[in-house]
Amino acid sequence: MSTKAASLVTQAKQWATNYGAYSNGEEGHSLTAPLRVRANWDAGDADAIAAMFTDNGSMLMGDEQLKGREEIRSWLADAFAGRYKGTRMRFEPVEIKMLHRDCAFMVAEGGLLLADEDEVAPERSSRITFVSVRADDDWRVLSYQSSPVKG
């Protein structure tokens, strides 16, 4: 196997670990949208994150309810240039429920990592919810919300 092929296999295996207990079935399919949001967050790509949302999607960031792709994109672009620069998003699905064959609700635990961190600090630990919907044979995010977990 070539070095490039071996690298691709390694990357695919690493990506597959992101699905945890939801590696198969519709729950796993619905999880692709939140995982793509996470990958784009880690890249600091506000445009790509906004593109993962439905036209009428919403994202609750702190006390700010962002509505629609443009509001999401604009807010994240500013955040990635400032206080969220270099942050990475981490979450582990706790539960995924199919509400309909084209709609899933996911509860996860996680939070944001600063550039030099390997684990989410307790003060940034959060409970995260995603509502994902199937649109045009792909999964998109309808709603994202993150709430702090305080111990």
Looking at residues 87-107, what average pLDDT do you find?
A: 95
Looking at residue 63, what is its pLDDT? 87
Strand, helix or coil at 132?
Answer: strand
More confident residue, 130 or 20: 130
Q: Is the pLDDT of residue 131 over 70?
A: yes
| Percent of the residues in the chain that have a pLDDT greater than 70, as a whole number | 84
Nearest alpha carbon to residue 98 among 134, 64, 63:
134
- Secondary structure, 3-state, 65-120: EEEHHHHHHHHHHHHHHCCCCCCEEEEEEEEEEEEECCEEEEEEEEEEECCCCCCC
Confidence check: pLDDT of 150 > 90: no
Give yes or no for residue 29 having a pLDDT over 90: no
Question: What integer best gives the mean pLDDT of the chain?
Answer: 87
According to the model, what pLDDT value does residue 17 have? 54
**Mean pLDDT along residues 36-41:** 95
